[in-house]
Structures are given as structure tokens and as C-alpha cells.
Amino acid sequence: MTQSTLSNLQDHLSLVSFQEFLGDRLVNLITVLTVEEVKINKCHHTAVCPVICNNGTFGWISYLDRGADLSPQDREEVEGWDHLQPGARPPKVLADLFEAVVGAVFLQHGSLRLDNWLRTIFGPTLGAATKDCWYSTTWTLAFYRDHQISTFSCAFHL
């Protein structure tokens, strides 16, 4: 390899690392803002944000795309992951890939397009997380408590 090739590779890796860093921050911000708009109460917000904004969710999104050019080591890790095993979390490289793409979309297209794109991606997960949250006994009791509603009087209305 020539010095020029090594320098270009270093610049590329630095850019990808920056895009991942930026994407991580942006996806956290947009997730919080999105959930804030539809939150039922603080408990709902606290329960739903981590479901959407985590490496497992990001990893699945990247895995479903499968268009990335991964290093041999990363490719081996992804191919060794049993995605059909219940509870098996995607390799972290897939989450990192998603965050790098988020950073790249922001740099290339700006915040409005990124916001629209992420809301489209996270919409179904937000709905499912809200439903899971609603059926959680802990959350339901907190909802009743926060709204000063008797659980006895509501038991018949669920």
C-alpha cells in the first residue's frame, strides 16, 4: 500500500467513526422528541424510548438491509449470529453501521429528511412498544396512579 492509499483509508475510517458518533447522538435526540410527541405520561416515555433507541433495534434494522460491505471479522460475527434464536441480540457492528448511516444521511440531506426517515423507520416499533407498555401491569398501575383513577373502577373498562 502506498502512503496515499493509507492516508485515504485513515480519512475514510475517521469519517465513518465521526458519522457513527454523530448518528448515535442524532438517533437518541430524534427518538426522544418523537416519543415526547406521543407520550401518554412520563412512565410511558421512560418505557418506550429504550425499546426504540438501543443497539438491538438498530442491529435488526441493519441486518434486514444486508447491503453493507463488512470486514471479514465483522462478516463472520454477523454470519455466526443465530437471528432465529429467541432473545439473541444482533452483533454490535450492525448497530454501529446503522448509526453511521444515520450520520451520513444527516450530513448529506440535513435534519428534516433525517427526522422524516427515522420517524418512518421507528413508527411501527413505537406502536408495538406502546402496546407492550400499556399491557405491562407496572405501567398500567402507574398510569392509573398518575391520573388519580381507581384501578377497581377501571378494571371493567379495559
How far apart CA 147 and CA 61 sit, in angstroms, is: 36
Residues 46, 39: Cα–Cα separation, whole Å: 9
Q: What CATH number did the domain enclosing 106 receive?
A: 1.10.1520.10
pLDDT at 22: 92
The predicted structure's pLDDT at residue 60:
87
Q: How many domains are there within the chain? A: 1
Quote the percentage of the chain above a pLDDT of 70. 75
On whether residue 39 sits in a domain, the answer given is yes
Q: Which residue has the cell 401491569?
A: 137
Residue 7 domain-assigned? no
Please indicate, yes or no, if residue 115 is contained in any of the structural domains: yes
Inside any domain, residue 106: yes
Asked whether the whole model's pTM tops 0.95, one would answer no
Quote the domain boundaries for residue 128.
12-154
- Residue 3 included in any domain: no
Tens-place pLDDT, residues 67-87: 778 888 988 998 899 888 888
In a domain? residue 76: yes
